[in-house]
Amino acid sequence: MLPLRELSAALRAGELSPVDHVRDACDRLAADTHGAVVVLDDGRALAEAAERAAELARGEWRGPLHGVAVGVKDLYDVAGLPTRAGSNVLDGHPPAAADAALVTRLREAGAVVVAKLHTHEFAYGPTGDVSASGPARNPHDPTRITGGSSSGSAAAVAAGHVPLALGTDTGASVRTPAALCGVVGLKPAFGALPLDGVFPLSETCDHAGFLTADVAGAALAWDALSGTAAPVVDARRVGLPVGDYWEPADPALTAAVAAAAEALRAAGVEVVGVATPMIDELAAVYPTIVGAEAHATHAAWLAERPDAYQPGTRARLEPWRDLPARDYVDARRTRLRLGAALHEAVRGTDALLLPTTRLRATPIGAEEVDGVPVRPSLLALTLPFNLTGWPAVSVPGATDGLPAGVQLVGVGLDERSLLRLASLACGERW
């Protein structure tokens, strides 16, 4: 599968037919061995590909996603297909009557939706191995997790099935699977892409996002889906958060960030250490906010059909049943206060550079590795930026083994400028 930018150019130039491309993607997805695919919509996809091909023959071009095969995380509604969110709880619910807003944008841009993809159940987990359909498997090592919750999206892109896949990110769910699978995952700023028609986890932390094979593809997809093309601002100063909170447990991740920092310095960017003394207290409010908001969505189903949930998901939801309203309000207020303090602490930087996760891909089902708890290690370094709502991207870092994700966070940069900085950090040019 060609990277997205090259694929788009080949489709527009007539060097590749949308029908042949979409058929290839559908064949790849049909043969998938990573548990990435929930529903393959090949009949409709091929019909739409023929329509996109006819448009090109008439000289009509909708933009850089014209004729591109795209996968969609199974939290997004796709008209005519069921939304199951990785759960038996939604068995028997009718197919979606309409596309989610971002799926509508995809179609308007000329993209062809080929499949709905695996998600950690109800997006409530960073591992990708808890779902009614079983675990998603990492294309680099099928005994290991993809990360979650956009597990199928990461696996499908990493395996070369599709060049672009939609995901969501509440605390880690685009960036962590991107990091563990060795692809690019963009979490735009809060509210930058619409979430209408997406099953919620936490309304105040949910972000729409997507995954691609490289940074150039992410930039192309961002321009097409956001409808914006603001001038790129070059970063001059990047902050490297220091302190125990930000330290990874895997030395390969430390090395990957160091290599990215050197690449930025070589490009003329100043990289400086920044202290964040409030980070532990800020991060501590995340479980309360997300847990309370998630339980509010699931309370009736938990009471009526608790056994329809996967045991791990039920165990995460039930403790929030009796949370006092005051605790939730206090957590929201602390989030605002300490989010502002974090912004003040990193003032003067254009972006932050840090590992995406504390661990690389772990064995499926493992709760800890060498005494290090898995789930917190996949969430801790990403969740602060769902609390602040800042844009963030995970890109592949230098490694000689399993993928190592490097994260860049926009403090004073928009998404396009952040992606340009990310391309410098990972040695990509576009």
Enumerate the active-site residues: 73, 149, 173
Residue given tokens 């009796």 in the structure block: 322
Residue 60 is encoded by which pair of tokens?
């009509």
- Contact between 399 and 173 under an 8 Å Cβ cutoff? The reply is no
Give the strand pairing for 112-117 and 37-40. Answer: antiparallel
Helix (H) or strand (E) holding 207: strand 207-212
Find the DSSP H helices in 139-250. Answer: 151-158, 175-181, 215-226
- Contact between 126 and 120 under an 8 Å Cβ cutoff? The reply is yes
Give 243-259 as a DSSP string. Answer: SGGG--SSHHHHHHHHH
Q: Please calculate the CA angle 264-267-273 and round it to the nearest 5 degrees.
A: 35
List b or e across 174-188, with b for residues whose CB sees 16 or more CB atoms inside 10 angstroms.
Answer: bbbbbbbbbbbbbbb
- 3-class DSSP state of 229: coil
- In the chain, what is the straight-line distance between the N-terminal and C-terminal CA atoms, in Å? 19
Of 408, 352, 383, 354, the residue nearest 172 (C-alpha): 383
Please give the order of strands across the beta sheet that includes 37-40: 37-40, 112-117, 69-73, 164-169, 207-212, 184-187, 392-397, 404-410, 351-355, 237-242, 270-275
Cα→Cα distances 77→42, 83, 102, 239, 276, Å = 17, 6, 9, 38, 39
Residue 122 is encoded by which pair of tokens?
């109800």
Residue 269 is encoded by which pair of tokens?
């960017």
Report CA 366 to chain centroid distance, whole Å: 22
Q: What is the sign of the dihedral through the CA atoms of 17, 22, 25 and 31?
A: negative
- Rg of the chain over Cα atoms, rounded to whole angstroms, equals 20
Return the DSSP state at 230. P
How many residues are listed for the chain in this entry?
A: 430
- Contact between 34 and 139 under an 8 Å Cβ cutoff? The reply is yes
Residue 99 is encoded by which pair of tokens?
């596309």
- Other beta carbons within 10 Å of 94: 7
- Contact between 379 and 180 under an 8 Å Cβ cutoff? The reply is no
